[in-house]
Amino acid sequence: MDQNQTSSTANMDENQRSAVAVGWWLVVSLLMRFLTFIFLLVSLIVLVTDSTVESVDIFGFPVKATDFYAYRYMISAITIGMAYTLLLVVLTIFHTISASPIGGKRVAYFEFYSDKVISYLLATGAAAGLGFSVEYNRNLGIDFFNVANAAASLLLLGSFFSALSSVLSSLNLPKRS
């Protein structure tokens, strides 16, 4: 009887250790995804509600962020990144609760490769916004571009946390022998 209890206790300890080993990176990944979403949300709010317009176009209309293609690309990258981050937050929460990934290997590979694509999309959106803001601010000196520069900086921080969660998603890949 002692041997049965000892082997079942050893199996329970092994299962608990594997659950803890699986759980820590899921929690950290979830934290990275929440931080990504928060930075993207704040960046979108700052960019869209920028009201420091000091100039008008040739027709007399005030200049908005959506008038520039670089900022349109930023807004598109932010919204795609937010939608993707919300999807992965739900999948990560489900994975944490159920202790098994939904969809198996296919979803693990989807998460791994799409994390790479989204982090690059966010980084290029931040680069487009920062490059445009710095160039036009240097030439025109308008405060509008300073606020858009802050939004692009927040997007860059969001892309950094997205890249970190991308690295953590590699831990979910199936082990190869």
pLDDT in tens, 90-145: 888 887 777 666 777 788 888 889 999 999 999 999 999 999 888 877 777 666 77
Element (H, E) at 30: helix 2-48
DSSP state of 63: P
- Per-residue confidence band for 173, with pLDDT thresholds at 50, 70 and 90: confident
pTM above 0.75, yes or no: yes
Q: How many residues does the chain have?
A: 177
Query: What is the structure's pLDDT at 149?
Result: 86
| C-alpha angle 72-73-77 in degrees, rounded to nearest 5 | 120
Q: Is the dihedral of CA 110, 116, 119, 122 positive or negative?
A: negative
The Cα–Cα gap between 55 and 143 comes to 10
| C-alpha angle 74-39-163 in degrees, rounded to nearest 5 | 80
Q: Where are the domains of the chain?
A: 28-172
| C-alpha angle 41-46-50 in degrees, rounded to nearest 5 | 150
Query: What is the structure's pLDDT at 12?
Result: 46
| C-alpha angle 167-171-176 in degrees, rounded to nearest 5 | 125
Residue 24's closest CA among 145, 131, 168, 152?
Answer: 168
- Per-residue confidence band for 13, with pLDDT thresholds at 50, 70 and 90: low
Q: What is the mean pLDDT of residues 10-19?
A: 49
Query: What is the structure's pLDDT at 28?
Result: 87
Beta strands in the chain (DSSP E): none
100 φ/ψ angles, rounded to the nearest 5 degrees = -145, 135
